[in-house]
Structure 1
Amino acid sequence: MARALQLPEGRVLRYLGLRVVQVVPTILAIVVLNFFFLRLAPGDLAEVMAGEAGSATPEYMAMLRQQFGLDEPLAIQFFKYMGQLFQLNLGYSFRNSMPVLDLILTRAPNTALLMLSSLVLAVALGILFGAISAQWRGRWPDGVLSAFSTIGFATPLFWVGLMLIVLFSVELRWLPAGGMRDLQQVHTGLAAVGDVALHMVLPVLSLAFFYIAIYTRLTRSAMLEVQELDFVRTARAKGIAPLPIAVRHVLRNALLPIVTMTGLQLGTLLSGSVVIETVFAWPGMGRLAFDAVFQRDINLLLGVLFFSSFLVIVSNLATDLVYALLDPRIDVP
C-alpha cells in the first residue's frame, strides 16, 4: 500500500494526460449523438410556446423559429452549437430567459447535495450490512439482509418515494412532502440549515434505498472472496480474533471493488435523481431536465446532458486514479 501511494508525480501526470486524450472522442460522440437524437424528437420550442399563446398561425410559428434559430439547416445549427461549446457557452434558454450555464449552475449544487448525501449513506450502510451478512453467512442476519437487498433491487425509486411521502408526510406528518425549503417562513443561519436537512430526509432515503442494496451485496461477495485467501488463513492460524481479521484484513481488501463501483454509480445516481427530484419537487438538475423535455427547451436539455456527461467522465477519471493509488498491482504507465 505504501508503494502504491508514492507514485512519482510525473507518472501520475502522464497517466492523467493519457486518460484525458482517451476521453476526448467520448465527449465528442456524446455531443453529436445528443444534438441529432434530440432533433429527431417531434415538436420544438416554437410549437409549445405558440400552443400556449393560442396563436399557432404559420406566420407566428415562422417568427418564433427565426427568433430561436430553428429555421436554419440542421448542419448550420450543429456547427453553431459546437462553436458555442468551444467558448464554454451552452446557449440560451428562451423558456427561462437566462443562459443555460447560469441556470445549470444554480441547480447543480442542489443535485450535488442530494446525490452526495445519498451516496455517503448508501456506501456507509451498504458496507455495514454487507460486512454483517458476510460474517454471519448462512444465519438469520444474512437471511434478513439478503431479503432486504432483493427488495431493494426490485423496488422502483418512485414507488419508494411515494410510499415515504404517504407514511411520513401524510399519515405521521413528521417530514415535509417536497421542496427544498419551507416557503411559508424565512429561515437564516442554523435554522436554514436545519430546514434544508429536514427537507432532505425523504429524498435522500428514497434515492439511497436502491444503492444500499447494491453495496450490501457487493461488500458481502467481496468479503466472502477475500476470506478464502491465504493471508486470512494465516491470520487465523496466528490466533488473531475474528473481529480484527474481519476489519483489518478482510474488509480492508474488499473495499477496492467498492471504490470502483462508487465512481461508476455517479452516472446512475444522476438518472435516479431525475425521478426523485420530480417526485419530491427538489429544485435540481434532474427536475430541470424533466421540465426541459416537456417544454421542448432543446438548448437547456442539451446543456444538462452535456454537463452531466462531463461530470460522469471526470468522476470515472478520478476513480481510475484512486484505484491505481490503492492497488499496488495496477501499473501506472
Structure 2
Amino acid sequence: MESLTRIFYALGRALFQAVPAALGIVLVVFLFLQLVPGDVVDVMASQSGSATAENMAWLRAEYGLDKPVLLQFYSYLSHLAHFNLGYSPRYGTDVTTLILSRLPNTLLLMLLAQCVALVVGISFGVIMAVWANKWPDRLLTLLNLLLYSLPGFWMGLVILLLFSVQLDWLPSGGSQTVGANLTGWHAIVDTLRHAVLPVLSLSSYFIAIYARLTRSAMLEIASQDFVRTAHAKGLHPRTVALRHILRCALMPVTTVAGMYFGNLLGGAAVIETVFNWPGLGSLAMEAIVARDFNVVLGVLLLSAFLVVSVNIVVDVLQSWLDPRIEGKK
C-alpha cells in the first residue's frame, strides 16, 4: 500500500509540472514559427505556378493566416482545448489524422531503439564493471568509444551499404515491402525486418552512454558499506552484483534515459530521413519545407507530450527503485 502511495504521489507531482511546461512549449514554438519567412500559401503558389494575388489573399483568409499573431495563437489554443490540432493545407486533411497515421511507426522505432540501447548498454556496463581493467573491459571501452564518436546518420549509411547493398540481407528503406500486401504475422515480421537497420543506427550512440554510466555507477556502489555487508553474509557474488549493486546503479541510468528521450526523438527525425521511414520525423521535415506550421506545431506538441510522459514514467520508476526519493523531495 505504501509503495502504491509513493507511485501515485510521484505521478501527481509530475502531471502538475507537465501542464505549464506543455503550454510554455506551445507558446515559444508558435512565436518562433511566426518569425520564419513565408507561409504555406507561398509554397502552394510557387508549386502551382499560376496563383494570382487575389487567390493567395483568399487562401490566407480561408486558413486564418491574415489575422494578427495573437488572434492566431488564441484560435490555435481554442482548437487545442477541443483536442483539435487544426487543418493541414499541404496535405488536405486534419493534422490529428495525419499525425496519428505516422505516430505508430515513430513509436515503434523509438521504443525498439530505447530497449536495445538499455539492454545492450546495461549488459556492456555490467561486464565492464565485473571485469574492470581487464581485457573485456578494455575491449568494450574501445567499442563504446567508437559508438559514442560516430554520428547516428553516418552509422546508418555504413550499415545500409553493408547489410542492404552489399550483403542484401535487409531492406534498404521504408516500413513495409511495397506491393506485398502482407497481413497478420507475416506483416509484423516484414515491418521488424525493415526496422532493424534504423533501430541499430538510432540506438548506437545511446548504447555507449548507458554502458559507461552503468560501469561507473556499479564501481562506485561496489565500495559502499552495504555491499561489503552482503559479501560478509556469504551471498554469491553474482547475487550481490545483480540484486544489490545493479539495482542501485539503475537509478542514474533511468534518469539519463528519461533526459535523453528528447535526443532520441530528435535523432529519429534524421534516421527516418536516411531510411525513408514514414514517421513523425520525416513528416516534420516535409512540413517545415512546405511551411505547414499546423503540422509542425502538432508534431512538436506531441513530441513534448511524449517526453513529459516518459519523464513521468521515470519518476514513478525511481520511486519504486528507491523509496528514499520521496523523503528527499
Instruction: Please classify the TM superposition score into its range, dividing by the shorter chain length.
Output: over 0.9
1:188 to 165, 171, 183: 183
Q: Which runs of 5+ in 1 are unaligned?
A: none
| Alignment deviations for residues 26-64 of structure 1 (CA, whole Å, 9 cap, x no partner) | 111111001010111112101111000112543332222
Equivalences for residues 1-333 of structure 1 within 5 A = 6-7=2-3, 9=5, 12-331=7-326
Residue 95 of structure 1: how far off its partner (Å) = 1.0
Cα distance in 2 for partners of 1:328, 1:75 equals 46
Q: Contact 2:125–2:212 (CA<8 Å) still a contact in 1?
A: yes
Residue 14 of structure 1: how far off its partner (Å) = 4.8
* Number of equivalenced pairs: 328
Cα distance in 1 for partners of 2:12, 2:108 equals 29
Q: Contact 2:247–2:321 (CA<8 Å) still a contact in 1?
A: no
Cα distance in 1 for partners of 2:157, 2:12 equals 45
Residue 96 of structure 1: how far off its partner (Å) = 1.0
Q: 1:8–1:196: structure 2 CA closer, same or farther, 3 Å change rule?
A: closer
Mean alpha-carbon deviation: is it higher for 247-256 or for 220-229? Answer: 247-256
Residue 326 of structure 1: how far off its partner (Å) = 1.8
Q: 1:8–1:158: structure 2 CA closer, same or farther, 3 Å change rule?
A: closer
Q: Contact 1:50–1:60 (CA<8 Å) still a contact in 2?
A: no
Q: TM-score, normalising length from structure 2?
A: 0.95
Residue 82 of structure 1: how far off its partner (Å) = 0.9
Q: Contact 2:87–2:95 (CA<8 Å) still a contact in 1?
A: yes
Residue 197 of structure 1: how far off its partner (Å) = 1.2
Cα distance in 2 for partners of 1:236, 1:59 equals 82
Residue 325 of structure 1: how far off its partner (Å) = 2.2
Residue 215 of structure 1: how far off its partner (Å) = 0.7
Cα distance in 2 for partners of 1:230, 1:39 equals 57
Cα distance in 2 for partners of 1:20, 1:129 equals 34
Q: Is the partner of 1:282 in helix, strand or coil?
A: coil
Cα distance in 1 for partners of 2:142, 2:33 equals 41
Residue 87 of structure 1: how far off its partner (Å) = 0.9
| Alignment deviations for residues 79-103 of structure 1 (CA, whole Å, 9 cap, x no partner) | 1011111111100111111111111
Cα distance in 2 for partners of 1:17, 1:122 equals 29
Residue 250 of structure 1: how far off its partner (Å) = 1.5
Residue 315 of structure 1: how far off its partner (Å) = 1.5
1:99 alignment partner AA: D
Q: Is the partner of 1:330 in helix, strand or coil?
A: helix
Q: Contact 2:113–2:199 (CA<8 Å) still a contact in 1?
A: yes
Residue 124 of structure 1: how far off its partner (Å) = 0.5
| Alignment deviations for residues 168-197 of structure 1 (CA, whole Å, 9 cap, x no partner) | 111111110000000032212221111111
Cα distance in 2 for partners of 1:56, 1:8 equals 62
Residue 235 of structure 1: how far off its partner (Å) = 2.8
Q: Is the partner of 1:270 in helix, strand or coil?
A: helix
Q: Is the partner of 1:7 in helix, strand or coil?
A: helix
Residue 203 of structure 1: how far off its partner (Å) = 0.5
| Alignment deviations for residues 133-185 of structure 1 (CA, whole Å, 9 cap, x no partner) | 11111112111111122212211111111111111111111110000000032
Cα distance in 2 for partners of 1:64, 1:325 equals 54
Mean alpha-carbon deviation: is it higher for 232-241 or for 72-81? Answer: 232-241
Q: Contact 2:10–2:319 (CA<8 Å) still a contact in 1?
A: no
Q: TM-score, normalising length from structure 1?
A: 0.93
Aligned-CA RMSD value = 1.7
Cα distance in 1 for partners of 2:227, 2:20 equals 44
Mean alpha-carbon deviation: is it higher for 236-245 or for 201-210? Answer: 236-245
Cα distance in 2 for partners of 1:268, 1:108 equals 17
Q: Is the partner of 2:181 in helix, strand or coil?
A: coil
Q: Contact 1:47–1:56 (CA<8 Å) still a contact in 2?
A: no
Residue 260 of structure 1: how far off its partner (Å) = 1.9
Q: Contact 1:84–1:90 (CA<8 Å) still a contact in 2?
A: yes
2:27 alignment partner AA: V
Cα distance in 2 for partners of 1:205, 1:17 equals 35
Mean alpha-carbon deviation: is it higher for 240-249 or for 193-202? Answer: 240-249
